[in-house]
Copies of this chain bind each other. A is one copy, B any other.
Amino acid sequence: MQTSTRDRIVVTAARLLQRQGYVGTGIKQIAQEAQATLGSVYHFFPGGKEAVAVAAIEHSSQEFAALLQQALDSDPDPAAAVDACAGQLARELRESGWTDGCPVTAAALETLGTDSPIQQACAAALRAWEQQVAGKLLRCGFAAGDARDLAATVLAALEGAEVTAQVTRSAEPLRTVGRQLARLIRSYQAPDG
């Protein structure tokens, strides 16, 4: 067995959470698709379903952070990098049949009223990704305030575009938003920025 049972549970749970949300994903389904048994799940995660979900979200958070960093580093120009990032999201979304969107949105929306650790994990993921974008902008010479505002906008727009793309089963929203975000970023680099 190449991967450990625990890892298989986390990875499987992450994928299912991404596609079906928290309530829509059952512990038994996770165990079955991870080729583990119920006993194993509760052995590694005595905290039950919620603990599995938190571990899965943290896994997804780091996994996407790596992809995001790679896309941001792909071009020295931040506007082009953000556009590339949107393109990357569009490509992966299409390849997955429009099912694998943002790995935390679905779970986050379902646990909003509560102050569950799931919600906190999702918030932490969003904050970390935003920091990555802001860091790229800072390194490119943007003012701190501009970098913060732009990073928040970039992340929100990409998030929304991904949802729209999933619902309409089209890559166009992501492509369009990528172009518009690039334009917005460049507007700060213009002479009268």
CB distance B23 to A167 under 8 Å?
A: no
Q: Which chain B positions have C-beta within 8 A of A98?
A: 112
CB distance B180 to A149 under 8 Å?
A: yes
Contacts known (A110-B20, A184-B180); A119 close to B149, Cβ less than 8 A: no
CB distance A112 to B153 under 8 Å?
A: no
Q: How far apart sit A98 and B168, CA to CA, in the bound complex (Å)?
A: 26
Q: How far apart sit A108 and B160, CA to CA, in the bound complex (Å)?
A: 12
CB distance B159 to A163 under 8 Å?
A: yes
| From A126, A149, A156, A163, residue with most partner B Cβ within 10 Å | A156
Interface presence of A65 (CB below 8 A): no
Interface presence of A105 (CB below 8 A): yes
When all copies of this chain in the complex are counted, the total is 2
Contacts known (A149-B180, A172-B152); A164 close to B126, Cβ less than 8 A: yes
Q: How far apart sit A164 and B167, CA to CA, in the bound complex (Å)?
A: 19
CB distance B167 to A180 under 8 Å?
A: no
CB distance B164 to A155 under 8 Å?
A: yes
CB distance A126 to B184 under 8 Å?
A: no
Enumerate A26-84 residues with CB–CB distance to B below 8 Å: none
Interface presence of A87 (CB below 8 A): no
- Sample 28 A-B pairs with CB under 8 A, ordered by A number: A20-B110, A21-B23, A21-B109, A97-B113, A99-B112, A101-B109, A105-B163, A106-B106, A108-B163, A108-B166, A108-B167, A109-B109, A112-B167, A119-B167, A122-B167, A126-B164, A126-B168, A127-B168, A153-B157, A153-B161, A153-B176, A153-B181, A156-B157, A156-B161, A156-B163, A157-B160, A184-B187, A187-B187
Which 7 A/B pairs are nearest by Cβ-Cβ distance? Answer: A160-B160, A159-B160, A156-B160, A156-B161, A157-B157, A153-B180, A23-B24
